[in-house]
Amino acid sequence: QQQVKQSPQSLIVQKGGIPIINCAYENTAFDYFPWYQQFPGKGPALLIAIRPDVSEKKEGRFTISFNKSAKQFSLHIMDSQPGDSATYFCAASDLSTNAGKSTFGDGTTLTVKP
Amino acid sequence: DAEITQSPRHKITETGRQVTLACHQTWNHNNMFWYRQDLGHGLRLIHYSYGVHDTNKGEVSDGYSVSRSNTEDLPLTLESAASSQTSVYFCASSQQGRGYEQYFGPGTRLTVT
């Protein structure tokens, strides 16, 4: 079964809009949730990450919101720009037993129109 | 600057041939991973290693093998390539104890005809 479900599969917004990408997980042992950004022809790159002891984390225009009781987390991109057009992956890790592994969502392809 | 490289970047091979994809990192990371990326499936873990001589199977390991003889390299071998293995392959590495922060290579696009 898929342990991390990501939605939507694709998303189109106008410049300045606030795209939101959602992820849900099943394994309550997950305790670290990174997001990766991937541009065409490149490998994914770590963007921002959150641990479940906080409900929100901001880095520049990128914000992660975390809802532990619902087992959901989401990425918001404020004042989105065409340069943010990329594929975004959420992931989850269980640091206690699988310190080296992350389980990835299927990805969201974001297009920001000028 | 430290980096992670993959070679070749593009490869076309025939069904049944053995293929080896190279991955080399200069961060001195203990953890290394191989993923395949297919439309609609995101990143799926093939094999991973936590150090020299350590290898572990991921969720889609059938038909693939790895070996870790040094810290820097984790080559991925397709024993007998199949059309279902046409994909983009990514290698990643991470620092021991910080596996959740993975650094990815540029990828190898493999086509099996």
Question: Does pLDDT of B40 surpass 90?
Answer: no
Does the CB of B60 have a partner CB in chain A at under 8 Å? no
List, for residues A65-80, the tens digit of each pLDDT value: 999 999 999 999 999 9
B chain contacts of residue A46, beta-carbon cutoff 8 Å:
101-103
Residues in chain B with CB shorter than 8 Å from the CB of A59 are none
Q: DSSP readout, chain B? A: ---EEEE-SEEEE-TT--EEEEEEESS--SEEEEEEEETTTEEEEEEEEEETTEEEE-TT-TTEEE--SSSSB--EEESS--GGG-EEEEEEEE-TT-TTS-EE---EEEEE-
Q: Is A51 helix (H, G, I), strand (E, B) or coil?
A: coil
Per-residue pLDDT in tens (0 to 9) along chain A, 114 residues = 568 999 999 999 999 999 999 999 998 888 889 999 999 989 999 999 998 889 999 999 999 999 999 999 999 999 999 999 999 999 998 877 656 678 899 999 999 999
- Give A14 to chain B, closest Cα distance, Å: 24
Give the chain A residue nearest B39 (alpha carbons): A106
In chain B, residues with a C-beta closer than 8 Å to the C-beta of A36 are 104
pLDDT, tens only, B41-82: 789 999 999 999 999 999 899 999 999 999 999 999 999 999
Contact B99 A102 (CB under 8 A): yes
In this structure, are residues A105 and A25 in contact, taking their beta carbons and an 8 Å threshold?
no
Q: Which residue of A has its CA nearest to B49?
A: A100
